[in-house]
Amino acid sequence: MLKEIKSPQIYIPDNVHELISFYSENPNSLIFAGGTSIMIKSAYSESGSIEYIIDCNELEELMRIKRTERYLEIGALVTLSKIASIGTHVIPLSLYKALSQTATPTIRRLATIGGNIYVGASYSGILTVLYAMDSILELRSLQRSTWIPLSELILKSENQKLYIPEGYILTKIRIPSWNWNYEIFRKIARKPSQKQCSLTFCGLARTNKGILTDIRLCFGSLGNRLYRNRGLEVGFLGRKLPVQDKTIEFLLSELDRSLNPSTDRYSQAEYRLATSKKLIRWFLTEINRI
Ligand SMILES: Cc1cc2nc3c(=O)[nH]c(=O)nc-3n(C[C@H](O)[C@H](O)[C@H](O)COP(=O)(O)OP(=O)(O)OC[C@H]3O[C@@H](n4cnc5c(N)ncnc54)[C@H](O)[C@@H]3O)c2cc1C
């Protein structure tokens, strides 16, 4: 027997306040940003539980990018191609690289950074970089507006889904100011545009007078969650360059114990672990050349 499915109605808010009020009064609504994730998931159209689709195309205030001395602020509805088009004199190089290796140019013209974060896939190169950079997110509901570290949501998350609390809309993303002496992003995949991949990695380092003053190491696509170990990173601070071989070996043995990658149809766990360790070794060797 055919199931009767009622088509959702479309609502187009003129501003963020209208979006938030409508969403709070109609929790069975679906926010439609770029639609690239929504349109490929039959679950959205077949469930029949969605009463309204909120088309966010008119919300100019969430399509802006601002750079101050303290941070880079990106509206949740800015498309991936628009952010990349601003260039590396404004956005961090590793973010630029992650954006350029996400999906295809056509998808990047539609997909928004807010949508990518909301989907929260552990293979997201963009999330790998944002996590490494200690980014914070503005979440808004009718009752409350709050800034929350992305790390907090990742640590709470399960099963490849970020835990954006129910009823909240992601409105802005802030990346604290950076002056990394060295930053890299790598995506290991058969094709750069491939969605699921073997590995994503972001490495960042800051030095001052031959001393390592900050280091960030973040991996994506190893399993359900992105991996970053602040304890390990802190252990490196204040060390003199070049990083000694025994320090590198210590870090690699720690990663052996804590990375715990999974096997799927894109990669074997052993390959993921070995490649992560190679990337770390290479990254630390490169820092030694600064
Ligand atoms: C062919 C293809 C290749 C891809 N390759 C990659 C890849 O290499 N790497 C990668 O990381 N991703 C990849 N993706 C995923 C892509 O990045 C996401 O589909 C996209 O970023 C989602 O953004 P969107 O604006 O289209 O979101 P939408 O599809 O509009 O929304 C996705 C979900 O997020 C919710 N949402 C959106 N914005 C907000 C907001 N501001 N507040 C609250 N909820 C919100 C929506 O309600 C929906 O549930 C690929 C997708 C496709 C189709």
Q: Give the model confidence (pLDDT) of 242-263 as tens digits.
A: 999 999 999 999 999 999 999 9
Residue 195 Cβ < 6 Å to ligand 1: yes
pLDDT value at residue 164: 86
Confidence of residue 159 (pLDDT cuts 50, 70, 90): low
Ligand 1 mean position to 32 CA, how many Å? Answer: 10
Percent of the chain with pLDDT over 90: 81
**Span 186-195, average pLDDT:** 87
pLDDT value at residue 158: 72
Whole-angstrom distance, CA of residue 87 vs CA of residue 85: 5
Q: Looking at per-residue confidence, does 179 or 74 come out higher?
A: 74
Domain assignments of the chain as residue spans, ordered by start: 9-55, 60-176, 182-288
Question: Is residue 23 within 8 Å of 169, Cβ to Cβ?
Answer: yes
pLDDT value at residue 40: 87
pLDDT value at residue 196: 83
Residue 36 Cβ < 6 Å to ligand 1: yes
pLDDT value at residue 43: 57
Ligand 1 mean position to 2 CA, how many Å? Answer: 30
Whole-angstrom distance, CA of residue 129 vs CA of residue 202: 6
For a substitution probing ligand 1, which of 20, 23, 32, 37 has the most ligand atoms within 8 Å of its CB? 37
Residues in the chain: 290
pLDDT tens digits, one per residue of 48-65: 689 999 999 999 999 999
For a substitution probing ligand 1, which of 107, 146, 198 has the most ligand atoms within 8 Å of its CB? 107
Q: Looking at per-residue confidence, does 162 or 138 come out higher?
A: 138
pLDDT value at residue 1: 58
Confidence of residue 189 (pLDDT cuts 50, 70, 90): very high
Residue 169 Cβ < 6 Å to ligand 1: yes
**Measured at the alpha carbon of residue 128, what is the angle toward residues 32 and 54, in degrees to the nearest 5?**
5
Packing angle of the helix pair 93-100, 125-132 (nearest 10 deg) = 170
Question: Is residue 141 within 8 Å of 166, Cβ to Cβ?
Answer: no
Question: Is residue 55 within 8 Å of 76, Cβ to Cβ?
Answer: no
What's phi and psi for 204, nearest 5 deg? -130, 140
Question: Is residue 151 within 8 Å of 225, Cβ to Cβ?
Answer: no
The model's pTM: 0.95
Which two three-digit tokens encode residue 262?
A: 């999974």
User: Residue 149: is the preceding peptide bond cis (ω within 30°)?
Assistant: no
CATH architecture of residue range(s) 9-55: 2-Layer Sandwich (3.30)
Identify the three-state secondary structure at position 103: coil
pLDDT value at residue 193: 78
Ligand 1 mean position to 195 CA, how many Å? Answer: 11
Among candidates 132, 163, 235, 167, which has minimal Cα distance to 19?
Answer: 167
pLDDT value at residue 157: 81
Q: Please tell me the CATH superfamily of domain 182-288, with its number.
A: CO dehydrogenase flavoprotein, C-terminal domain (3.30.390.50)
Residue 161 has pLDDT above 80, yes or no: no
Among candidates 86, 126, 122, which has minimal Cα distance to 103?
Answer: 126
Ligand 1 mean position to 249 CA, how many Å? Answer: 38
- Please name the fold of domain 60-176: 3.30.465
Residue 46 has pLDDT above 60, yes or no: no
Residue 221 Cβ < 6 Å to ligand 1: no
Residue 170 Cβ < 6 Å to ligand 1: yes
